[in-house]
Amino acid sequence: MVKPGLTTCIGMKWFELNTESQTEHTEMTSDVIAERNQMLLAGAVRAGASRYDVERGLIYYHAPPARDGGHVAQESLDYAVALAETRTDLDRVPRIVEETLRTQDQEPHSLTFGNFPWMDNWSRVLDPNAVSFMVPCYYRLLRYHESLLGNELAMRLRDGLGRSAHALLAHRAQWAYGNIFLLNILAKLQVAHVLDDPRLQQIAIWDFEEWFAHTSRFGIVEFNSPVYSAVQIIALEGLLELPNASAIHQQVRAALSMYYTEAFVHFHPASEQFAGAKSRHAPAFRLQCRHLLHALLFRQTGQPQPLDSIDHAGLALSGYSVEKSVCRLAFEKHWPVVVQQSSPHNGLTRRTWMTAQYALGSMSGGRYGRDDVPIEILSESAGVACRMFLEGEPHRFDTYAEQDGGVVVGAVRWRFSPASLRDKRGGPATESLPFRVGFADDYVPADVREVVLTLRFIVEHGEAAVRVGETNWMRGPHELSGREAVCVRAGDVLIGYRGQGSQIVRATEHGFNIEATLAVPETKSGQDVQPFMLCVSEIGKSESENDFFERMQRAELCKSETGYSLRIDGRLDANMMSVHVPESPVTLMQCDDHKLVAGRLTHARTTQNPADAIWEDR
């Protein structure tokens, strides 16, 4: 059984990483960290200078239609902090504080009292997370740069923080929403420190104890995210700066060691990316080569060099330095590397296989959410860099996969809401339907008539050769036959794919997609499954390019029913792999006919008739 923590195999020798016993620090580290922080802050100033709107007194953010205007919630205050820390354009600091504070909801009877609109042209608060990002910036400016604000503005800012406390208490995010829950704890403690409020301080400490107890048991829920893992780390580091959080500093340090360990063990030096399946990595982020986690890696190790970004201001305010043994995990790897983890909160098992030239990661057992990346390949070899992601349209499917080194056999499971209820989903109660119907977002939306599973290949630089079946692909749309495999050569790395059903290869601006389309059943509810096989290898003494192509053409993939599950079998030469896709209910919303959720109860029988099983988990 995989433990909730982190187990890794480096150089094929298994060991567990102890996140509590390593306490290596040097006196030099704090100076080096401070120097790197200044580099990140200088980059934030440069990035903000060209986007500062003098008339608005805010950073201009262009993401129409919803977000096109002055950026209240995040970048403007990050820019103000960077200016204050670097002593640059100091007249802009109070202006930004003035303009953002002006937007705060000050209506006492409002449900969003004390919160802020994300943009200056929003008439009301639409995203309650705004206050969670803004309070830490206000606190930094008030605690360390109050003289830049002046007495009158500083007094108004204190009043605004008092109102923010109400917004933070009203925004009760659940503990598993890691980045916001931790930011809320940090913000509550910061407001409590400014206002000398012991009640708010105690509430924040209770929140942290809740988070820490669950995280100790279930591990990191927002796992391996190049953006949101960094936000969680920032919040934890911020807690170490607070005197009124000293009671939890020991637990905070243990959590930080765990977060940095997970991040750095997944770093793939050749591609300069964080490998493995990801909980949250939105499509817009997947084309970017640098993320917030890269800036934290730079702060701790000095590489890779960061790009200029306003967002880096919030990463450059802590002097925390992680243990040397954790830092070494990022670059001092002995190939191959295997990382295996579990995410019990989401029912997931995760595996990552890395060599010097590529990384293949998978997760199995369900899904995280709408922005997860269940399968990912990173490759950097001989001047060719590629990335591959498994996506869905809509992105609502469960993934089940078995991984052995560079081979993954798996399937995605689509769940469809009952056809008789599709037009009534979320609708009001009626005489024939005396309750309000609603299905979790694990289900395909009722108005969708077909679903598309996509393997998205992105070529970052260089040229990748693609072969479909026995011929070279000429970049025109190509419908795959049942016996055709798709093979890619990217430098010395070889990537092979096999699937089933209606599939087509299409060229895109940044590479190509393999799209597998499935029609939604019209007359009945239920589920459908799309199997796939992925193989990643390297050209070497034991395998040539043609050998690999021929192996993928001979590969077999089939599915069959077995008990309460579908079994997907994949054969690659003598290597046989199987994965089971359960048909039994996984969540309460999937249960009917008095069935219970799988894994919660082994069996139940009536006392009148012991042979009549209410539920058996076979």
Give DSSP secondary structure letters for 534-549.
Answer: EEEEE-SSS--HHHHH
Other Cβ atoms closer than 10 A to 527: 18
The pLDDT of residue 5? 43
User: For residues 171 and 184, is the Cβ–Cβ distance under 8 A?
Assistant: yes
The pLDDT of residue 600? 42
The pLDDT of residue 599? 47
* Structure tokens, 371: 């922005």
Paired residues of 349 in beta bridges: 342, 364
* Structure tokens, 609: 């008739």
Other Cβ atoms closer than 10 A to 522: 9
**Distance between CA atoms of 166 and 320, rounded to whole angstroms?**
30
Select from 547, 522, 523 the least CA-distant residue to 537. 547
Helix (H) or strand (E) holding 378: strand 375-381
Q: Which residues contact 54 (CB under 8 A, 6 or more apart)?
A: none
The pLDDT of residue 152? 98
Helix/strand/coil (H, E, C) string of 550-613? HHHHHCEEEEEEECCEEEEEEEECCEEEEEEEECCCCCHHHCCCCCCCCCCCCEEECCCCCCCE
In the 8-state DSSP scheme, what is residue 416?
E
Select from 576, 497, 498 the least CA-distant residue to 536. 497
* Structure tokens, 391: 């996506």
The pLDDT of residue 421? 54
The pLDDT of residue 143? 97
> How many CA atoms does the CB half-sphere of 330 hold within 13 Å?
24
Rounded to 5°, angle at Cα 605 from 603 and 611: 110
Residues in the chain: 618
- pLDDT tens-digit readout, 184-206: 999 999 999 999 999 999 999 99
User: For residues 215 and 255, is the Cβ–Cβ distance under 8 A?
Assistant: yes
The pLDDT of residue 311? 96
The list of the chain residues with pLDDT below 50 reads: 1-7, 9-28, 424-439, 594, 599-606, 613-618
Helices (H), strands (E): how many in the chain? 14, 29
pTM over the 0.85 mark? yes
The pLDDT of residue 345? 87
The pLDDT of residue 483? 86
